[in-house]
């Protein structure tokens, strides 16, 4: 559905006249719904879930000098559980979350034998510096949640023919809930409907789940194979 269709459905649900246009309207209610559409779409994007449609692989190439790289222009956030991989090591780089700990790494007179990374100042910082032959790869969540009728994806609605790249059902129910809530008439049923649509979209996002019959091998979370590579004699 286009954003026009979504807003038309919302209007029918909340008792507003069905509009013929949204983005070009100067009507107060339409302006309010346009703002709500953007807010709810961003909320759906930023829920604690990694939408497959928004995942992008980014690669940086080392030059032996650069210790920091600008984040992608469409960067919204890292994945919920994000790992950076360098061609230098056979394991993921360590994520440093505390800037004081990072400052310690920069100050103390030793060189780390494994890679570390942190984000601050809108840049990805790494230690040690990548050599010219090294590459660094990671997956991030893009903020380009809107698909236009033609052309590249974008971060916000600005045309009636735009569509949301994520769950339009969740967008519609989220707008209904938020509109009624700010008018003081929302009910628990409104929120439950939105939450259910969002949960369903997340559950269906990454495809089917295998069904295991019999007695499967017991596994533990966050456990990897000791050496998951082919060994040549």
Q: What is the pLDDT of residues 201-220, one digit of tens each?
A: 999 997 655 555 555 554 44
Q: What is the pLDDT of residue 56?
A: 97
DSSP state, residue 154? B
Instruction: Give dist(CA 233, CA 225) in Å, integer.
Output: 20
Rounded to 10 deg, the angle between the 168-182 and 28-46 helix axes is 120
112-153 tens-digit pLDDT: 677 899 999 999 999 988 889 899 999 999 999 999 999 999
Contact 111, 44 (CB under 8 A): no
pTM of the model: 0.82
What mean pLDDT is predicted for residues 52-61?
A: 96
- The residue with tokens 């082919």 is 230
Comparison of pLDDT for 222 and 182, the residue scoring more: 182
- What the block records as the tokens of 62 is 């080392």
Distance CA 54, CA 139 (A): 10
Q: In this predicted structure, what is the pLDDT of residue 165?
A: 97
Q: 53 — alpha (psi -120 to 50), left (phi > 0) or beta?
A: alpha
Q: What are phi and psi of 94, to 5 degrees?
A: -80, 130
Contact 164, 3 (CB under 8 A): yes
Name the average pLDDT for the chain: 88
Q: What is the pLDDT of residues 164-176, one digit of tens each?
A: 999 999 999 999 9
Domain ranges of the chain: 3-50+166-204, 52-142
What is the structure's pLDDT at 81? 85
């Amino acid at each position: 559905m286009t954003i026009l269709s979504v807003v038309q459905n919302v209007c029918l649900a909340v008792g507003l006249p069905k509009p013929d246009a949204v983005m070009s309207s100067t009507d107060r209610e339409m302006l309010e719904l346009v703002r709500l559409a953007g807010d709810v779409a961003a909320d759906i994007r930023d829920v604690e879930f990694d939408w497959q449609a928004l995942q992008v692989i980014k690669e940086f190439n080392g030059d032996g000098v650069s210790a920091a790289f600008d984040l992608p222009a469409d960067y919204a956030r890292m994945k919920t559980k994000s790992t950076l991989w360098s061609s230098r090591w056979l394991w993921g780089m360590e994520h440093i979350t505390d800037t004081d700990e990072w400052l310690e790494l920069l100050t103390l007179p030793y060189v780390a034998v494994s890679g570390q990374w942190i984000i601050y100042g809108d840049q990805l910082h790494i230690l040690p510096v990548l050599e010219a032959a090294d590459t660094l790869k990671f997956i991030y969540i893009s903020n380009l949640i809107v698909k236009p009728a033609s052309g590249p994806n974008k971060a916000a609605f600005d045309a009636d023919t735009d569509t949301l790249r994520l769950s339009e059902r969740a967008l519609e129910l989220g707008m209904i809930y938020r509109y009624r809530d700010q008018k003081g008439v929302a009910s628990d049923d409104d929120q439950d409907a939105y939450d259910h649509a969002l949960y369903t979209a997340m559950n269906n996002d990454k495809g089917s789940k295998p069904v295991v019959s019999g007695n499967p091998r017991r596994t533990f979370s966050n456990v990897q194979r000791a050496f998951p590579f082919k060994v040549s004699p």
